């Protein structure tokens, strides 16, 4: 009887470790998915900021040229 309990104890611990590894892998996949979404959002925000910076620079240079042309 003691041998049976010892065998089921070891089998149970191995199954528990396998279950924990499965849960860990699922959590890692979810975390990597979250990081990828965060990275995509950051890239989109950086692109929008860069476009706004280019537009502001273009408009300010255009206004500066217009003022210089009126001054002459």
Q: Residue 72: pLDDT above 80?
A: no
What's the pLDDT score for residue 68? Answer: 86
What's the pLDDT score for residue 70? Answer: 82
At residue 2 the predicted structure's pLDDT band, cuts being 50, 70 and 90, is low
What's the pLDDT score for residue 13? Answer: 85
Extract the tokens encoding 4. Answer: 């049976």
pLDDT digits (tens, 9 = 90+) for 4-53: 556 677 888 888 899 999 999 999 999 999 999 999 999 999 999 999 99
Query: What pTM value is reported for the model?
Result: 0.65
Cα 55 from Cα 48, distance rounded (Å): 11
């Amino acid at each position: 009887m003691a041998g049976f309990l010892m065998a089921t104890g070891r089998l149970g611990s191995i199954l528990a470790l396998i279950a924990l590894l499965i849960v860990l892998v699922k959590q890692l996949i979810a975390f990597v998915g979250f990081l990828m979404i965060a990275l995509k959002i950051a890239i989109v925000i950086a692109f929008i900021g860069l476009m706004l910076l280019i537009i502001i620079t273009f408009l300010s240079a255009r206004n500066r040229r217009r003022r210089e042309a009126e001054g002459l």
